[in-house]
Amino acid sequence: MTNNAETIKNIALAGHNGSGKTSLAEALLFRAGVTERLGKTEEGNTVCDFDPEEIKRKVSINTSIANFMTEGIKVNLIDTPGLFDFEGGMREGITAAGTVMITVSGKSGVKVGTKKAYKFAEKLGKSRVFVVTKLDDPNANFYNTLTDLKTAFGPTVCPVVVPVIRDGSISSYINLIEMKAYKYNDKGEAVETDMPEGDIADKMDYRLDGLIQAISEAVAETDDELMEKFFEGTAFTQKELIDGIHKGVNAGMITPVIATSAESLAGIDMLLKEISLLLPSPLEVAKPVAEDKNGDPVEINCSVSDPLAAFVFRTTVDPFVGKMSYIKVYAGVLKPGDTVFDSTSGQNVKIGKLYNMVGKKQEEVDAANAGDLVVAVKTDICTSDTLCDPARTVKFDAVQYPAPCYSMAVKAKAQGDESKISAGIAKLLEEDPTLKYEQDPSTTEQILSGLGDQHLEIAASKLKEKFGADVVLTVPKIPYKETIRKKVKVEGKHKKQSGGHGQYGHVWMEFEPTVGDELVFEEKVFGGAVPKNYFPAVEKGIQESMKKGVLAGCPVVGLKAILVDGSYHPVDSSEMAFKTAASIAYKEGLKQADPVLLEPIGSLSVRVSDDKTGDVMGELNKRRGRMLGMNPAEEEGMTEILADVPVREMHDFATYLRQTTRGLGDFTFEFVRYEQLPANLVPEVIVSLSSDSE
């Protein structure tokens, strides 16, 4: 069955880790009749958490899609991870969605993950809904959570389905649009019951008439005629409430709050109803903007009669199925066998089979219309690619991923696995653009970077399970360098007699500091003391020697070498002899030239909430950071701290920042220059480098 845009709802489930996203998806699929039993995360049998790592760890680490039908509407439910290490998955899901359904645990309330999901959805102009979950827990408190939501997100927060609390437990749920109350039996089936009067929560200041007033005010804000009716004191009809909330949700003026319990299924039927009534279809959301072939902005209409415009928002690589590309069709129709233009790569690509997904279960389809989500298999496209009709070339902005901030060196456990590692990591990079893999030119280590220690740990586990590449992750080496601080003049003589021709090379060299990494070589020899044909050998001897300094065996930079004198033997002198003599002079000269160790320094920009700036600045001082300033960040209540910090002090900074800010802070860090290592750290570094070389 192919759905048209007016009968499609694309919904991303997002929120803090542990707030019940996957359990809510499971309850929706069960209530919609897609599954026959209610899976549980603890048992590893949910539809959306099917990856072996997710089953093993009992947590979502990938974005997955499950579609179902309700009230004649096709719902594409995108379940996203809540762990900060997998924020890239959340961003992919929100990018593809029309509405973001943010789960908030009734037990723990608003957390950093709640705010992150809300802010990213708001940034992309997506409509938002709060679903308060886990209300079956005896420690849950819906009305405390509602107060938290209003405090954190302001007056747009509007309760739609609320519980009635009697004697410390939920006795029924009220649908404030229908103005009806329902009790739920042990099968999660709703039975209408009497509406309560007055207070609806023990020891709380929430009253039914106050909630009705709040929802009426929110609806009145969406339309001038409704505002006039509200001031006249006339109650809104059910249709006016539905239409007003629908309009307000789509405009970002109203954020509905719906109370549920995925475990007992209480409120799930009403959530399904509100999905079909209140949330916008792809036809109603703001038109996405792409660039045309000239780089000018162009709005894309959600119409099957328009030329194709589609966007790849996620990629997975299955060892058995191959590459699977998750695609949002913005305009036109995408069909298997079509040849389309990939405006990102500039290549024509042929579309393979297309599938609707319910977790890992695939259902083949013959087309995907504008507004729908679909998965193409074995098609040579990548995440953030735009697919379009060659007659109208357009290109959408790439998914906005967080930058990698935590790095480890990757080594093969067994010799000969290097090719497996490279091939496996190439596949992982296709799946997860928040991973980065490169060779450090100074240490020659292979460095894998991601969003946190758990991110890299799971990447290593996937390498082993999916691609048979067993690796060890270690703390990356710091690429120290050496230089000199004073000018010296030294002699280098290589003389050896061993029967027949001997070896003779003799040079006088001056070494002095200079600017730059490369060797500066000059010759000031008078009277032919050293023949010109040996000058290149002397230079080469110095260059090769510079790979190792005299303090800790680190590469040497900032060196100027001047050949000033020497002598030669007409028979025994050779290029090799002068190369060796230069090396002898280098070793002796650097010892006398006040050699020092240099450490890499990076430029840090860290964003934290205003109340954490003192903690973070204190920590940076401990890490030998040099403060450069503070600026107000774009987001309200956030501050940007700028500092120069040694690279050796930054390895675990991502972990520190996440713990201190509870995930709300982020940073970028880039190498800028080398500076002299403080004298008190030199012995420690020399010892560590010596042990590494052994």
Q: In this structure, are 41 and 57 located in the same domain?
A: yes
Q: Is the alpha carbon torsion for 541, 542, 544, 549 positive or negative? A: positive
Is residue 532 in a domain? yes
Nearest to 140 by CA among 174, 94, 107: 107
Residues 154 and 49 occupy one common structural domain: yes
Give the pair of three-digit tokens for residue 693. Answer: 């070389």
- The DSSP-derived string for 248-310 is HHHHTS-EEEEE-BTTTTBTHHHHHHHHHHHSPPTTTSPPPEEEETTS-EEE----TTSPPEE
CB 282 within 8 A of CB 371: yes
pLDDT of residue 650: 94
Q: What is the CATH number of the domain that holds 448?
A: 3.30.70.870
Give me the average pLDDT of each 10-residue run along the chain (694 residues): 85 95 96 92 90 90 94 95 94 97 95 94 96 93 93 93 88 93 91 84 73 90 90 90 95 95 94 96 94 93 95 89 93 95 95 94 94 94 95 95 93 82 90 93 91 94 87 94 95 82 91 92 88 94 94 93 92 91 95 95 94 94 95 87 96 93 90 94 89 63
CATH no. for residue 16?
Answer: 3.40.50.300
Residue 155 domain-assigned (yes or no): yes
Same domain membership, residue 183 and residue 321 = no
Structural domain total, the chain: 5
The residue from 372, 395, 418 where one domain ends is 395
State residue 158's pLDDT score. 94
Cβ-contact 100, 129 below 8 angstroms: yes
Measured CA to CA in angstroms, residue 5 lies from 2, 98, 112, 672 at distances of 10, 12, 34, 50
Residue 234 covered by a domain: no
- Domain membership of residue 283 (yes or no) is no
Torsions phi, psi for 539 (to 5 deg): -60, -45
Are residues 169 and 44 both part of a single domain? yes
Same domain flag for 579 and 636: no
Collect all residues with Cβ–Cβ distance below 8 Å to 84 and sequence separation of at least 6. 17, 113, 116, 451, 452, 658, 663
**By residue range, what is the domain housing residue 525?**
482-593
Where are the extended beta strands (E) located within 319-435? Answer: 322-331, 333-334, 339-342, 347-350, 354-358, 361-365, 368-369, 373-377, 386-388, 394-395, 406-412
Domain boundary among 430, 445, 474: 474
Any idea what the CATH number is for the domain that residue 615 is in? 3.30.70.240
What gap in Å lies between CA 78 and CA 263, rounded to an integer? 20
Beta-bridged to residue 525, according to DSSP, are none
Q: Is the dihedral of CA 627, 628, 631, 634 positive or negative?
A: negative
Tell me the two tokens of residue 242. Answer: 């539905």
Separation CA 237–CA 246 (nearest Å)? 14
User: 185 and 261: one domain?
Assistant: yes
Which of 360, 395, 430 is a domain's end point? 395
What pLDDT sits at residue 500? 66
DSSP labels for 77-89? EEE---SGGGHHH
Give the domain CATH number at 567. 3.30.230.10
Pair 534, 628 in one domain: no
The answer to whether residue 232 sits within a structural domain is: no
Q: What is the model's pLDDT at position 693?
A: 60
Task: Please tell me the predicted confidence (pLDDT) of residue 413.
Answer: 86
The CATH number of residue 349's host domain is 2.40.30.10
Query: Which token pair is 640?
Result: 């940007």
For 343, residues 6+ apart whose C-beta sits below 8 A from its C-beta are 293, 385, 386, 387, 388, 393, 394, 395
Asked if 357 and 410 sit in the same domain, the reply is no
- Assess whether 294 and 381 both reside in one domain: yes
265 is a domain residue: yes
Distance CA 689, CA 681 (A): 12
- CA atoms of 148 and 571, how far apart (whole Å): 91
Strands 373-377, 322-331: pairing kind: antiparallel
Question: pLDDT at position 607, please?
Answer: 93
**220 domain-assigned:** no
Residue 508 inside a domain? The answer is yes
Domain identity same for 528 and 602: no
Q: Are residues 466 and 498 in the same domain?
A: no
In terms of domains, do 58 and 41 share one? yes
